[in-house]
Amino acid sequence: MFTVHIDSNRTWGGGQEQSLGLAQALAGRGHEAYLITQRGSALEDRLREMGGFRGALSKQPGDLRWESMPLRGLIGAGYSLRLDRRLRQLRPDVVHLHDSAAQLPAMLAAVRRGRSRPRVIATRRNDFPVPRGMRAVLYRRLCDRVICVSEAVLERLLEANVPAERLVVIPDFVDCQRFDPSLFQAGCPGSALAQRPPTIVSVGRLTREKGHAVLLGAMAKAKCSMPHARLLICGTGPEEAALARQAEQVTQGVEFLGFVSDVRPVLAAADLFAMPSLSEGLGVAALEAMAMAKPVVASATGGLRELVLDSETGLLVPPGDADALAEGLLVLLRDPARAQRMGQAGRQRALAHYDRGLIVDRVLALYREVVSGS
């Protein structure tokens, strides 16, 4: 199976973990995988760090090949001709589109291919309403299948009149071997981490929909009862300055760690993980925390309602409700034994339903289905 993966996002997030991780897993299984990313993006930087550029004519089994080009906006649409030439050269079985901004240039290229075009699969990772214009047309007519990372995302596409037979729910994955708490010594008696204050961790882009302002409001309330608690926030984004100003009102105990390329040591230092999103397709960061055996306190919105089992692997609270979020945080910080049980249940759930190998199997099955025409 030869697949081309297109990801046009400039910044790094859960979606880029998924597109890169899937392409790597496919290459590792002996399939041909070629990744096209946005020029100047964080994903391009990551690929360059991993290894040298390999052009379209290199076909070494197990090698992840890649290149970058302008893909977004009007410039990206103009580059659909270049993308068309690349697809003609590569002749993949499947083109997999990993973000919405990549869809227009990729679809224009696919249309030019006519009957000889590869099968096209798009993944949708957010639960925002789908615009009923061009975006809905792309999903309805030019995609052979649309992967929805949760039932919540599927419902949004059905609302936009995308035919149900084009939709399939396949969640994002986590590499449970890599996100393995046994690799860290957080719980060892006498260790530095064992002596830490009660610690909450949150990971995600600092954007409004991620709900960090609500989390800071909850932290201010929680510290009235537990003044030594601390909050570690990993990520960068447009809300960073405003959030830093808000954090000053909490006085001590809030640390902005910026972009963290490997969040596992930070998660290992946590007592619990907070995901206060106002909107969320699934929540890869919460999934990684579950794999690390951390209980998750999350907003009852989008795919988080499917990912986190309330009172079993964590707690769900109304989105945007700082009081409810503060209470949820305090409930678990005050009951470490319960928090630990929830964390262990979360890891077992990640292993059983979201481990990378399981999800890659499902994606490969979908590729074979669309290529065979069934």
Residues of the chain with pLDDT under 50: 57, 186-194
Q: Where are the domains of the chain?
A: 2-173+355-372, 181-353
**Do 2-173+355-372 and 181-353 agree at the fold level?**
yes
Pick the CATH number of 2-173+355-372 from 3.40.50.970, 3.40.50.2000, 1.10.760.10, 3.40.1280.10: 3.40.50.2000
Is pTM beyond 0.95? Reply is: no
pLDDT at 151: 97
181-353 classified as CATH 3.40.50.2000: yes
Q: Give dist(CA 366, CA 87) in Å, integer.
A: 20
Query: Which of 164, 26, 170, 171 shows the shortest CA–CA distance to 92?
Result: 26
What's the DSSP call for residue 234? Answer: E
pLDDT at 362 (0 to 100): 98
- pLDDT attached to residue 189: 40
Strand partners, 54: 66
The rounded distance, in Å, linking the Cα atoms of 290 and 82 is 41
61-66 long-range contacts (CB < 8 A, ≥24 apart) are 61/30, 61/32, 62/27, 62/28, 62/30, 63/27, 64/23, 64/24, 64/27, 64/33, 64/34, 64/35, 65/32, 65/33, 65/34, 65/35, 66/34, 66/35, 66/36, 66/37
Decide: residue 257, CB within 10 A, 0-12 exposed, 13-18 middle, 19+ buried. Answer: middle
Q: Given this model, what pLDDT does residue 69 score?
A: 87
Give the model's pLDDT for residue 75.
Answer: 60
Q: What pLDDT was estimated at residue 110?
A: 59
